[in-house]
Protein backbone atom coordinates (compact mmCIF):
# COMPACT_ATOMS: atom_id res chain seq x y z
CA UNK A 1 0.00 0.00 0.00
CA UNK A 2 2.83 2.53 0.58
CA UNK A 3 3.94 1.88 -3.02
CA UNK A 4 0.36 2.38 -4.21
CA UNK A 5 0.04 5.67 -2.33
CA UNK A 6 3.43 6.87 -3.57
CA UNK A 7 2.44 6.24 -7.17
CA UNK A 8 -0.90 8.00 -6.68
CA UNK A 9 1.03 11.05 -5.49
CA UNK A 10 3.80 10.98 -8.10
CA UNK A 11 2.03 9.74 -11.21
CA UNK A 12 -1.19 11.33 -12.47
CA UNK A 13 -1.63 8.69 -15.17
CA UNK A 14 -1.52 5.98 -12.50
CA UNK A 15 -4.45 7.56 -10.67
CA UNK A 16 -6.48 7.64 -13.88
CA UNK A 17 -5.55 4.06 -14.72
CA UNK A 18 -6.52 2.91 -11.23
CA UNK A 19 -9.97 4.49 -11.64
CA UNK A 20 -10.51 2.48 -14.81
CA UNK A 21 -9.26 -0.72 -13.18
CA UNK A 22 -11.59 -0.31 -10.21
CA UNK A 23 -14.60 0.59 -12.35
CA UNK A 24 -14.16 -2.66 -14.26
CA UNK A 25 -13.63 -4.63 -11.04
CA UNK A 26 -16.85 -3.20 -9.61
CA UNK A 27 -18.77 -4.24 -12.71
CA UNK A 28 -17.49 -7.82 -12.41
CA UNK A 29 -18.07 -7.98 -8.65
CA UNK A 30 -21.67 -6.79 -8.94
CA UNK A 31 -22.55 -8.90 -11.98
CA UNK A 32 -22.92 -5.98 -14.39
CA UNK A 33 -20.26 -7.73 -16.46
CA UNK A 34 -19.39 -11.41 -16.59
CA UNK A 35 -16.16 -13.08 -17.54
CA UNK A 36 -15.65 -14.15 -21.14
CA UNK A 37 -12.30 -15.73 -20.30
CA UNK A 38 -12.29 -19.39 -21.33
CA UNK A 39 -10.20 -22.11 -19.75
CA UNK A 40 -6.95 -21.49 -17.90
CA UNK A 41 -4.73 -18.47 -18.51
CA UNK A 42 -1.00 -19.24 -18.48
CA UNK A 43 1.22 -16.34 -17.41
CA UNK A 44 4.91 -16.39 -18.42
CA UNK A 45 7.18 -15.56 -15.48
CA UNK A 46 10.72 -14.24 -15.35
CA UNK A 47 12.53 -14.48 -12.02
CA UNK A 48 15.29 -11.90 -11.53
CA UNK A 49 17.57 -13.20 -8.77
CA UNK A 50 19.51 -10.24 -7.36
CA UNK A 51 22.15 -11.42 -4.89
CA UNK A 52 25.20 -10.24 -3.02
CA UNK A 53 26.25 -13.57 -1.50
CA UNK A 54 26.32 -17.07 -3.03
CA UNK A 55 23.58 -18.17 -0.60
CA UNK A 56 21.26 -15.45 -1.90
CA UNK A 57 21.77 -16.71 -5.45
CA UNK A 58 18.96 -19.22 -4.94
CA UNK A 59 18.83 -22.46 -6.88
CA UNK A 60 16.73 -23.33 -9.90
CA UNK A 61 15.00 -25.91 -7.69
CA UNK A 62 13.94 -23.27 -5.16
CA UNK A 63 12.50 -21.20 -7.99
CA UNK A 64 10.70 -24.19 -9.52
CA UNK A 65 9.19 -24.97 -6.12
CA UNK A 66 7.77 -21.47 -5.89
CA UNK A 67 6.17 -21.76 -9.33
CA UNK A 68 4.59 -25.05 -8.23
CA UNK A 69 3.09 -23.37 -5.17
CA UNK A 70 1.60 -20.58 -7.28
CA UNK A 71 0.03 -23.11 -9.61
CA UNK A 72 -1.52 -25.11 -6.78
CA UNK A 73 -2.82 -22.09 -4.91
CA UNK A 74 -4.34 -20.30 -7.90
CA UNK A 75 -5.96 -23.52 -9.20
CA UNK A 76 -7.31 -24.51 -5.76
CA UNK A 77 -5.16 -27.66 -5.91
CA UNK A 78 -3.33 -27.00 -2.64
CA UNK A 79 -3.80 -30.01 -0.31
CA UNK A 80 -4.52 -27.75 2.67
CA UNK A 81 -7.66 -26.35 1.01
CA UNK A 82 -9.47 -28.94 3.16
CA UNK A 83 -8.52 -26.89 6.24
CA UNK A 84 -10.78 -24.00 5.23
CA UNK A 85 -13.54 -23.78 7.88
CA UNK A 86 -16.78 -25.39 6.69
CA UNK A 87 -18.65 -22.06 6.65
CA UNK A 88 -16.36 -20.81 3.86
CA UNK A 89 -15.84 -24.01 1.87
CA UNK A 90 -18.54 -23.01 -0.62
CA UNK A 91 -16.72 -19.72 -1.29
CA UNK A 92 -13.38 -21.21 -2.31
CA UNK A 93 -12.36 -20.48 -5.89
CA UNK A 94 -10.23 -21.85 -8.69
CA UNK A 95 -8.81 -18.66 -10.23
CA UNK A 96 -8.04 -20.46 -13.50
CA UNK A 97 -4.47 -19.15 -13.70
CA UNK A 98 -1.24 -21.05 -14.12
CA UNK A 99 2.31 -19.74 -14.10
CA UNK A 100 5.24 -20.97 -16.18
CA UNK A 101 8.85 -19.84 -16.36
CA UNK A 102 9.37 -18.07 -19.66
CA UNK A 103 10.93 -20.09 -22.47
CA UNK A 104 11.62 -17.12 -24.74
CA UNK A 105 13.29 -13.86 -23.75
CA UNK A 106 12.16 -10.42 -25.01
CA UNK A 107 14.37 -10.81 -28.11
CA UNK A 108 13.04 -14.23 -29.05
CA UNK A 109 16.01 -16.21 -27.78
CA UNK A 110 15.55 -19.38 -25.67
CA UNK A 111 15.64 -18.82 -21.90
CA UNK A 112 15.04 -20.70 -18.67
CA UNK A 113 13.07 -17.72 -17.34
CA UNK A 114 15.71 -16.82 -14.75
CA UNK A 115 18.19 -13.95 -14.67
CA UNK A 116 20.98 -13.66 -12.12
CA UNK A 117 22.56 -10.38 -11.08
CA UNK A 118 25.34 -9.94 -8.55
CA UNK A 119 24.90 -6.68 -6.68
CA UNK A 120 26.85 -4.59 -4.19
CA UNK A 121 23.67 -3.82 -2.24
CA UNK A 122 22.81 -5.60 1.02
CA UNK A 123 19.22 -4.45 0.85
CA UNK A 124 16.67 -2.71 -1.33
CA UNK A 125 13.76 -0.51 -0.35
CA UNK A 126 10.27 -0.14 -1.75
CA UNK A 127 11.46 2.71 -4.00
CA UNK A 128 11.91 0.13 -6.79
CA UNK A 129 15.70 0.35 -6.95
CA UNK A 130 15.95 -3.41 -7.46
CA UNK A 131 14.07 -3.03 -10.75
CA UNK A 132 16.88 -1.13 -12.48
CA UNK A 133 20.39 -2.23 -13.42
CA UNK A 134 21.60 1.32 -12.79
CA UNK A 135 20.79 0.98 -9.08
CA UNK A 136 22.17 -2.53 -8.58
CA UNK A 137 19.16 -4.54 -9.68
CA UNK A 138 17.85 -5.86 -12.99
CA UNK A 139 15.67 -4.12 -15.53
CA UNK A 140 12.16 -5.48 -16.02
CA UNK A 141 11.25 -7.53 -19.04
CA UNK A 142 8.21 -6.16 -20.94
CA UNK A 143 5.37 -6.07 -18.42
CA UNK A 144 2.72 -6.84 -21.01
CA UNK A 145 4.39 -10.19 -21.77
CA UNK A 146 5.87 -11.33 -18.46
CA UNK A 147 5.19 -11.34 -14.76
CA UNK A 148 8.47 -9.98 -13.39
CA UNK A 149 9.44 -11.51 -10.03
CA UNK A 150 12.51 -10.04 -8.34
CA UNK A 151 14.20 -12.01 -5.54
CA UNK A 152 16.05 -9.66 -3.21
CA UNK A 153 18.82 -10.03 -0.60
CA UNK A 154 16.65 -8.05 1.82
CA UNK A 155 13.78 -5.57 1.51
CA UNK A 156 13.08 -2.72 3.91
CA UNK A 157 10.32 -0.16 4.07
CA UNK A 158 11.43 3.49 4.28
CA UNK A 159 9.46 3.65 7.55
CA UNK A 160 12.07 2.57 10.14
CA UNK A 161 9.34 1.24 12.43
CA UNK A 162 8.49 -1.42 9.84
CA UNK A 163 12.02 -2.58 9.06
CA UNK A 164 12.34 -5.70 6.94
CA UNK A 165 9.32 -6.74 4.91
CA UNK A 166 8.60 -10.02 3.13
CA UNK A 167 7.78 -8.50 -0.24
CA UNK A 168 5.77 -5.95 -2.18
CA UNK A 169 3.93 -5.65 -5.47
CA UNK A 170 2.64 -3.08 -7.93
CA UNK A 171 -1.09 -2.98 -8.65
CA UNK A 172 -2.30 -3.00 -12.27
CA UNK A 173 -2.11 0.39 -13.97
CA UNK A 174 1.37 1.42 -12.90
CA UNK A 175 4.50 2.18 -14.93
CA UNK A 176 5.60 -0.85 -16.97
CA UNK A 177 9.25 -0.42 -16.04
CA UNK A 178 8.44 -1.10 -12.36
CA UNK A 179 5.60 -3.58 -12.83
CA UNK A 180 5.88 -6.84 -10.92
CA UNK A 181 6.60 -8.38 -7.53
CA UNK A 182 9.63 -8.23 -5.20
CA UNK A 183 10.25 -10.89 -2.53
CA UNK A 184 13.10 -11.48 -0.09
CA UNK A 185 14.99 -14.72 -0.78
CA UNK A 186 14.20 -16.09 2.69
CA UNK A 187 10.47 -15.92 1.92
CA UNK A 188 10.59 -17.36 -1.60
CA UNK A 189 9.74 -20.97 -2.40
CA UNK A 190 9.79 -23.95 -0.07
CA UNK A 191 13.41 -25.13 -0.04
CA UNK A 192 16.92 -23.69 -0.01
CA UNK A 193 17.04 -20.38 1.84
CA UNK A 194 13.28 -20.26 2.62
CA UNK A 195 12.78 -19.90 6.38
CA UNK A 196 9.78 -20.71 8.59
CA UNK A 197 7.16 -19.48 9.18
CA UNK A 198 7.24 -18.13 5.60
CA UNK A 199 8.65 -21.18 3.84
CA UNK A 200 5.61 -22.52 1.98
CA UNK A 201 5.69 -20.04 -0.88
CA UNK A 202 2.63 -18.08 0.24
CA UNK A 203 4.39 -14.70 0.23
CA UNK A 204 4.44 -14.95 -3.57
CA UNK A 205 0.82 -16.13 -3.63
CA UNK A 206 -0.14 -13.04 -1.61
CA UNK A 207 1.96 -10.56 -3.59
CA UNK A 208 0.88 -11.90 -6.97
CA UNK A 209 -2.66 -11.39 -5.66
CA UNK A 210 -1.87 -7.67 -5.42
CA UNK A 211 -0.41 -7.78 -8.95
CA UNK A 212 -3.81 -9.15 -10.00
CA UNK A 213 -5.59 -6.30 -8.13
CA UNK A 214 -6.52 -7.95 -4.84
CA UNK A 215 -6.40 -5.86 -1.67
CA UNK A 216 -5.85 -6.97 1.92
CA UNK A 217 -9.01 -8.39 3.46
CA UNK A 218 -9.13 -5.76 6.24
CA UNK A 219 -9.18 -2.87 3.77
CA UNK A 220 -5.97 -1.19 5.01
CA UNK A 221 -7.66 1.21 7.40
CA UNK A 222 -5.55 0.25 10.40
CA UNK A 223 -8.01 -1.25 12.87
CA UNK A 224 -10.92 1.07 12.17
CA UNK A 225 -13.38 -1.45 10.68
CA UNK A 226 -14.20 1.13 8.01
CA UNK A 227 -12.00 -0.13 5.18
CA UNK A 228 -12.88 -2.50 2.38
CA UNK A 229 -11.16 -4.83 -0.06
CA UNK A 230 -14.10 -4.29 -2.45
CA UNK A 231 -15.01 -7.99 -2.24
CA UNK A 232 -18.41 -8.87 -0.79
CA UNK A 233 -17.63 -12.43 0.31
CA UNK A 234 -14.60 -11.59 2.50
CA UNK A 235 -15.82 -10.37 5.91
CA UNK A 236 -14.41 -7.04 7.02
CA UNK A 237 -11.68 -7.51 9.62
CA UNK A 238 -10.26 -5.26 12.30
CA UNK A 239 -6.74 -5.21 10.93
CA UNK A 240 -4.35 -7.93 9.79
CA UNK A 241 -4.06 -11.31 11.47
CA UNK A 242 -0.65 -12.76 12.26
CA UNK A 243 0.64 -16.17 13.22
CA UNK A 244 -1.86 -19.04 13.21
CA UNK A 245 -5.21 -17.81 14.59
CA UNK A 246 -7.93 -20.13 15.86
CA UNK A 247 -11.36 -20.13 14.21
CA UNK A 248 -13.45 -18.13 14.86
CA UNK A 249 -11.60 -14.87 15.44
CA UNK A 250 -14.26 -12.18 15.72
CA UNK A 251 -13.67 -8.48 15.02
CA UNK A 252 -15.69 -5.66 13.43
CA UNK A 253 -19.04 -7.19 14.45
CA UNK A 254 -18.40 -10.08 12.04
CA UNK A 255 -19.69 -12.82 14.39
CA UNK A 256 -20.27 -15.71 14.36
CA UNK A 257 -17.64 -16.67 11.79
CA UNK A 258 -15.22 -13.77 12.28
CA UNK A 259 -12.21 -12.84 10.16
CA UNK A 260 -11.37 -14.93 7.10
CA UNK A 261 -7.77 -15.26 8.29
CA UNK A 262 -7.31 -18.36 6.11
CA UNK A 263 -7.41 -16.10 3.05
CA UNK A 264 -4.19 -15.58 1.10
CA UNK A 265 -4.68 -11.81 1.35
CA UNK A 266 -4.26 -11.70 5.15
CA UNK A 267 -0.90 -11.62 6.98
CA UNK A 268 -0.99 -15.01 8.70
CA UNK A 269 1.89 -17.51 8.58
CA UNK A 270 2.18 -19.56 5.40
CA UNK A 271 0.84 -22.65 7.16
CA UNK A 272 -2.41 -20.86 8.05
CA UNK A 273 -3.57 -19.49 4.65
CA UNK A 274 -5.39 -21.68 2.17
CA UNK A 275 -7.89 -19.90 -0.10
CA UNK A 276 -9.14 -17.25 -2.50
CA UNK A 277 -12.87 -16.54 -2.67
CA UNK A 278 -15.22 -16.37 -5.63
CA UNK A 279 -15.42 -12.60 -5.21
CA UNK A 280 -11.64 -12.34 -5.37
CA UNK A 281 -11.65 -14.56 -8.47
CA UNK A 282 -14.12 -12.13 -10.07
CA UNK A 283 -11.69 -9.26 -9.45
CA UNK A 284 -8.94 -11.32 -11.04
CA UNK A 285 -11.20 -11.96 -14.05
CA UNK A 286 -11.76 -8.21 -14.35
CA UNK A 287 -8.01 -7.62 -14.28
CA UNK A 288 -7.20 -10.27 -16.87
CA UNK A 289 -9.91 -8.93 -19.18
CA UNK A 290 -8.84 -5.35 -18.53
CA UNK A 291 -5.49 -3.98 -17.40
CA UNK A 292 -3.67 -7.30 -17.92
CA UNK A 293 -5.54 -8.51 -21.00
CA UNK A 294 -2.24 -8.82 -22.90
CA UNK A 295 -1.81 -12.20 -21.14
CA UNK A 296 -4.91 -13.63 -22.81
CA UNK A 297 -4.21 -15.60 -25.92
CA UNK A 298 -5.95 -14.26 -29.06
Would you name the residues annotated as active-site residues?
Answer: 207
How many alpha carbons lie under 13 Å from residue 138 in its C-beta half-sphere?
23
What kind and span of H or E run contains 156? strand 155-156
Q: Is the previous residue joined to 248 through a cis bond, with omega within 30 degrees of 0? A: yes
Helices (H), 31-99: 60-74, 86-89
Q: Can you tell me whether residue 250 is helix, strand or coil?
A: coil
Q: How far apart are CA 102 and CA 43, in angstroms?
A: 9
- 182: nearest Cα among 289, 90, 49: 49
Residue environment code for 99-113, b if the CB has 16+ CB neighbours within 10 A, otherwise e: bebbeeeeeeeebeb
Under a CB-based contact definition with an 8 Å cutoff, are residues 168 and 207 in contact? yes
How many alpha carbons lie under 13 Å from residue 226 in its C-beta half-sphere?
3
Q: How far apart are CA 104 and CA 108, in angstroms?
A: 5
CB count within 10 Å of CB 226 equals 10
- 1: nearest Cα among 220, 229, 292: 220
Pairing type for strands 167-169 and 181-184 reads: antiparallel
Q: How far apart are CA 198 and CA 160, in angstroms?
A: 22
Amino acid sequence: MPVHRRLLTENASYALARDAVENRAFAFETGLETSARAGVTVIPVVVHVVHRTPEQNISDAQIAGQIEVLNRDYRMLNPDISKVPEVWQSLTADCRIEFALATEDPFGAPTDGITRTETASDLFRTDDGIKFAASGGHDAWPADRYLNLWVAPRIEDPDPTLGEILGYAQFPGGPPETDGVVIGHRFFGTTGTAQAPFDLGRTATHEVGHWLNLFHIWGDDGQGCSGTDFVADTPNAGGPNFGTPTFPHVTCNNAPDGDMFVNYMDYTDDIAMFMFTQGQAARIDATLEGARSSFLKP
